[in-house]
Amino acid sequence: MTAQLIDGNALSKQLRAQVATDTAKLKAQGLTPGLAVVLVGDNPASQVYVRNKVKACEDAGLHSVLEKYDATMTEADLLARVAALNNDESIHGILVQLPLPAHIDGQKVIEAISPAKDVDGFHIASAGALMTGMPGFWPCTPYGCMKMLESIGYNLKGKHAVVIGRSNIVGKPMALMLLQQNATVTICHSGTPDLKAMTLQADVIVAAVGKRNVLTADMVKPGAVVLDVGMNRNDESKLCGDVDFEGVKEVASYITPVPGGVGPMTITMLLVNTLESAQRALSEKQHA
């Protein structure tokens, strides 16, 4: 079997076009969705990420503000900026790029963002909303994975999903989203004694570890759907995922490539969340 690709670039293009259309409708009603991206320090990878996020906003017609601060910025000053953005009516989403310099408590900063503008979905209120099935923003990467499953018409009901990784930003929210769609979910981590025994039972596997070749062909049930969240470098310094793509594509029914899979979906879902935040703000205004 050679798996079909789930093309994150193509799906992103489609979703971003919809965001652009809906943004234009909001603008016609007098409201432009706005995203503020805050970068502290000069981490090179973070600089690329924030540039891409701002560009994606501009391309879809959203208003975006990039605030760049020196690595010496104090935690108090950053908290003050977040408070100002919370009160800024032109801003519907606030994203503080992680990691922050070591002298700043990242969790404290995330908790300072208004849950109504937490388009990254990292606030504890957003995590609680996801856990209890209440309205709130879903973290963009696992949300993007769910959109990828939706794009192939995959019905999770009665299926066994195995998530490898249990971080707060990918693994755990991924598991909750799959559970919400009635999958039976297993979460694996570095303490899982026999990963292969788990993954061989899976109809859907999400690899979110950050290590090459965590998932190889012998660990995959024929016909399984494999989503690769990992971002690593191979021996030639090229971007690769957690999955041995060449081997696993011969066993799986669907697979996401790296690059061009989950990666572009993350920014796309950030746009989707920001648009949704603006739509909620408008609706609140209209009903006030």
186: alpha, beta or left? (left if phi > 0; alpha if psi -120 to 50):
beta
Instruction: Give, in order, the Cα–Cα distances in Å from 8 to each of 1, 13, 126, 146, 256.
Output: 21, 8, 25, 12, 7
Residue 231 found at the interface with ligand NAP (CB under 6 A): yes
CB of 170 vs ligand NAP, minimal distance in Å: 4
> Which residue stretch of 96-104, 116-124, 229-237, 272-280 sits at the interface with ligand NAP (rule: CB under 6 A)?
229-237
d(CA 135, CA 261): 27
**Chosen residue from 70, 191, 286, 287 binding ligand NAP by CB under 6 A:** 191
Rule CB under 6 A: is residue 185 a binding residue for ligand NAP?
no
Choose, by CB under 6 A, the member of 18, 46, 180, 192 that binds ligand NAP: 192
Query: Of 16-24, 78-86, 185-193, 243-251, which segment contacts ligand NAP by CB under 6 A?
Result: 185-193
Give φ, ψ of 179 to 5 degrees: -65, -40
| Catalytic-residue membership of 120 | yes
- C-alpha angle with apex 95: 91 to 100, nearest 5 degrees? 140
Q: In terms of CB distance, is 125 or 231 closer to ligand NAP?
A: 231
169 binds ligand NAP (CB under 6 A): yes
> Can you tell me which of 35, 109, 170, 205 binds ligand NAP, judged by CB under 6 A?
170
Q: Examine residue 200 and tell whether it contacts ligand NAP (CB under 6 A).
A: no
Q: Which of 95, 177, 209, 248 binds ligand NAP (CB under 6 A)?
A: 209
Q: Is 97 a catalytic residue?
A: yes
22, 117, 118, 120: the catalytic one is 120
Catalytic residue, from 53, 147, 159, 249: name it: 53
Among 73, 145, 208, 219, binds ligand NAP (CB under 6 A): 208
Q: Between 96 and 115, how does the x/- string for binding to ligand NAP read (CB under 6 A)?
A: --------------------
- Which residue stretch of 54-62, 89-97, 122-130, 182-190 sits at the interface with ligand NAP (rule: CB under 6 A)? 182-190
Annotation marks residue 285 as catalytic: no
**Active site positions, annotated:** 53, 97, 120
